[in-house]
Amino acid sequence: MEKKERYTITAALPYTNGPVHIGHLAGVYVPGDIFARFQRLKENDVVYLCGSDEHGVAITIKAKKEGITPQEVVDKYHAIIKKSFKDFGISFDIYSRTSNEGHHKTAQEFFKKLHEQGEFIEKVSEQYYDAKENQFLADRYIAGTCPHCSNDGAYGDQCEKCGTSLSPMDLINPVSTLTGNTPEVKETKHWFLPLDKYEPWLKEWILEGHKKDWKTNVYGQCKSWLEQGLAPRAVTRDLDWGIKVPLKDAENKVLYVWFDAPVGYISATKEWAEKEGKNWEDYWKDEDTKLVQFIGKDNIVFHCIIFPSMLKAHGDYILPNNVPAMEFLNLEGNKISTSRNWAVWLHEFLIDFPGKQDSLRYTLTALAPETKDNDFTWAELQTKNNSELVGVLGNFVNRVVVLTNKYWGGEVPALGELSEVDKSVIEKMQTFPDRVESSIVKYRLREAQLEMMNLARLGNKYLTEEEPWKAYKTDEARAKTILNISLQICAKLSVLAAPFLPFTVEKMKHILNFSANTWEESKPEMLLPSGHQIGKAELLFERIDDEQIEAQLKRLADIKIANEEANRKVEPEKEAVSFDDFQKMDIRVGTILTAEKVKKAKKLLKLEVDTGIDTRTVVSGIAEHFSPEELVGKQVSILVNLAPRKIRGVESQGMILMAEDSNGVLKLINPSETKVKEGSVIA
Ligand SMILES: [Zn+2]
pLDDT digit string, tens, across residues 144-185: 999 999 888 899 888 888 878 888 999 999 999 888 999 999
Bridge partners, 606 (sequence order): 596, 619
Q: Give the start-to-end residue ranges of the domains of the chain.
A: 6-110+258-331, 118-238, 378-522, 579-682
Distance 167 CA to ligand 1 centre (A): 12
Distance 168 CA to ligand 1 centre (A): 13
Distance 166 CA to ligand 1 centre (A): 9
DSSP letter at 352 equals H
Query: What is the rounded distance in angstroms from the CA atom of residue 368 to the CA atom of residue 23?
Result: 9
Distance 64 CA to ligand 1 centre (A): 25
DSSP letter at 589 equals E
CATH number of 118-238: 2.170.220.10
Using alpha carbons, list the distances in angstroms from residue 448 to 35, 95, 175, 374, 517. 11, 26, 54, 18, 19
Query: What is the rounded distance in angstroms from the CA atom of residue 556 to the CA atom of residue 570?
Result: 24
How much is the pLDDT for 542?
97
Class of domain 6-110+258-331: alpha beta
Phi, psi of 400 (to 5 degrees): -65, -45
| pLDDT less than 70: residues of the chain | 1-2, 569, 662-663
Distance 432 CA to ligand 1 centre (A): 56
Distance 430 CA to ligand 1 centre (A): 62
Distance 646 CA to ligand 1 centre (A): 50
Distance 137 CA to ligand 1 centre (A): 20
How much is the pLDDT for 12?
98
Distance 35 CA to ligand 1 centre (A): 44
Distance 139 CA to ligand 1 centre (A): 15
Using alpha carbons, list the distances in angstroms from residue 72 to 18, 57, 65, 161, 346. 12, 15, 12, 31, 21
Distance 160 CA to ligand 1 centre (A): 7
Distance 676 CA to ligand 1 centre (A): 50
- The number of CA neighbours under 13 Å toward the Cβ of 582 is 7
Distance 15 CA to ligand 1 centre (A): 27
> Amino acid letter at 35?
F
- Three-state SS for 644? coil
Q: Are 377 and 332 in contact (CB under 8 A)?
A: yes
Distance 340 CA to ligand 1 centre (A): 20
Query: What is the rounded distance in angstroms from the CA atom of residue 596 to the CA atom of residue 605?
Result: 6
Distance 216 CA to ligand 1 centre (A): 35
Distance 145 CA to ligand 1 centre (A): 8
Distance 170 CA to ligand 1 centre (A): 11
CATH number of 378-522: 1.10.730.10
Query: What is the rounded distance in angstroms from the CA atom of residue 239 to the CA atom of residue 616?
Result: 69
CA 620 to chain centre: 46
How much is the pLDDT for 642?
92
Distance 173 CA to ligand 1 centre (A): 14
Distance 183 CA to ligand 1 centre (A): 21
Phi, psi of 557 (to 5 degrees): -60, -40
Nearest to residue 90, comparing CAs of 37, 23, 43, 20? 37
Q: Are 649 and 606 in contact (CB under 8 A)?
A: no
Spatial strand order of the sheet with 290-294 comes to 94-97, 45-52, 6-11, 290-294, 320-322
Using alpha carbons, list the distances in angstroms from residue 609 to 586, 669, 675. 15, 15, 15
- Residues contacting 675, CB < 8 A, separation 6+: 635
Distance 521 CA to ligand 1 centre (A): 62
Nearest to residue 306, comparing CAs of 256, 262, 267, 268? 262
Q: What is the pTM of this model?
A: 0.83
Distance 435 CA to ligand 1 centre (A): 53
Distance 130 CA to ligand 1 centre (A): 24
How much is the pLDDT for 662?
66
Is 541 exposed, middle or buried, given 0-12, 13-18 or 19+ CB atoms closer than 10 A? buried
Distance 153 CA to ligand 1 centre (A): 9
How much is the pLDDT for 512?
98
Distance 566 CA to ligand 1 centre (A): 20
Distance 177 CA to ligand 1 centre (A): 18
How much is the pLDDT for 601?
85
Distance 152 CA to ligand 1 centre (A): 8
Distance 220 CA to ligand 1 centre (A): 31
Distance 140 CA to ligand 1 centre (A): 15
Query: What is the rounded distance in angstroms from the CA atom of residue 537 to the CA atom of residue 410?
Result: 10
Distance 146 CA to ligand 1 centre (A): 5
Distance 337 CA to ligand 1 centre (A): 21
Query: What is the rounded distance in angstroms from the CA atom of residue 221 to the CA atom of residue 297?
Result: 9
Distance 172 CA to ligand 1 centre (A): 11
Distance 339 CA to ligand 1 centre (A): 20
Distance 257 CA to ligand 1 centre (A): 27
**Residue environment code for 624-638, b if the CB has 16+ CB neighbours within 10 A, otherwise e:** ebbeeeebeebbbbb
Query: What is the rounded distance in angstroms from the CA atom of residue 481 to the CA atom of residue 466?
Result: 10
CATH number of 579-682: 2.40.50.140
Distance 171 CA to ligand 1 centre (A): 10
Distance 58 CA to ligand 1 centre (A): 21
Query: What is the rounded distance in angstroms from the CA atom of residue 72 to the CA atom of residue 78?
Result: 10
Distance 159 CA to ligand 1 centre (A): 5
Taken as a whole, the chain contains a residue count of 683
Strands (E), 31-107: 45-52, 94-97
Query: What is the rounded distance in angstroms from the CA atom of residue 367 to the CA atom of residue 380?
Result: 9
CA 283 to chain centre: 29
Query: What is the rounded distance in angstroms from the CA atom of residue 16 to the CA atom of residue 70?
Result: 10
How much is the pLDDT for 1?
53
Is 73 exposed, middle or buried, given 0-12, 13-18 or 19+ CB atoms closer than 10 A? buried
How much is the pLDDT for 2?
63
Query: What is the rounded distance in angstroms from the CA atom of residue 80 to the CA atom of residue 86?
Result: 10
Distance 274 CA to ligand 1 centre (A): 51
Distance 571 CA to ligand 1 centre (A): 22
Distance 21 CA to ligand 1 centre (A): 30
